Amino acid sequence: MGGLILRPFHLGTIRRDKSIFTYIKNMGTQAEFPLLAWYIEGQGHRILVDTGAHDPAQGELNPPYMRKPGQDPVARLATLDVRPEDIDILILTHLHWDHASNIHLFPKARVIVQREELRYAAAPLDPHRGVYQTIPPLSPGLERFEVIDGDKEIAEGVSVHLLPGHTPGIQGVAVRISNAVYFLAGDNAPLVENWDAREKYGAPHWPHGIHVDLEAYFKSLRRMETLGDIIVPGHDWSALERTEYK
């Protein structure tokens, strides 16, 4: 059986003040950022990491974003001749609207989520209610959720790692491809400059503007140094420079 192939999906674009991604830096600087998901195929599995945002036709359920025809997750999978029901594992890095709004589209997938993320999504602190407001955590039925506590191997060459930071229960995904481990950092490192921050910000790493426990966040960033050979950011255009990693 062949090795793993990792493919990025561009699922829309948000325009925001850059400081939302770079804590207390770049205030007043407007920029556009991609919404990303990742498709992993191989070792007998079809895995999707995150599902993107809601259908804009549903109205302004969350802050507005732009999605062109063909940028929804079902359409992106179709370009690879993959149907939604072919996805057998769905890994949610966290339960914010731009990462987990389409769980219902994948009716046969095991849904991998951290227990701490479910707990926080049910009763977030007031400043964070908006980013969780359209995510009913148990919408596909509890029996489809595989609720985990901490790190776990999900499939051969694919593992998840609990890294409190952007949210209390956010998890990164390590994917071994050939001789390298690509680590999908999600929103713990939304931009390249969050990870390689020394030149711009005078620190090895720089946090997302949305977080709960800053001390725990920095511990997670230091731990990420040991979890992958290549750190892949969660909202950076550089992730789309390649159509596949294999």
Tokens at residue 21, please?
């991604």
The three-class DSSP label of residue 86 is helix
Tokens at residue 43, please?
């070792």
Overall residue count recorded for the chain in this entry: 246
pTM (2 decimals)?
0.95
pLDDT at 55: 84
- pLDDT, the chain, mean: 93
Q: Are 227 and 236 in contact (CB under 8 A)?
A: no
In CATH terms, the fold of domain 5-240 is: Metallo-beta-lactamase; Chain A (3.60.15)
pLDDT tens, 46-98?
A: 999 999 998 887 766 667 789 999 999 999 999 999 999 999 999 999 999 99
Kindly state the DSSP code that residue 222 receives in the 8-state scheme.
H
pLDDT tens, 105-126?
A: 999 999 999 999 999 998 999 9
The three-class DSSP label of residue 7 is strand
**35-49, 62-76, 225-239: segment of lowest average pLDDT:** 62-76
The three-class DSSP label of residue 201 is helix
- Which residues have a Cβ under 8 Å from the Cβ of 17 and sit 6 or more positions away? 26, 27, 28, 29, 30
Q: What is the 3-state secondary structure (H, E, C) of 154-172?
A: EECCEEEEECCCCCCCCEE
Q: Are 205 and 15 in contact (CB under 8 A)?
A: no
State CA 81 to chain mean position distance: 23
Tokens at residue 193, please?
């400059």
- Which residues have a Cβ under 8 Å from the Cβ of 60 and sit 6 or more positions away? none
**53-67, 71-85, 173-187, 196-210: segment of lowest average pLDDT:** 53-67
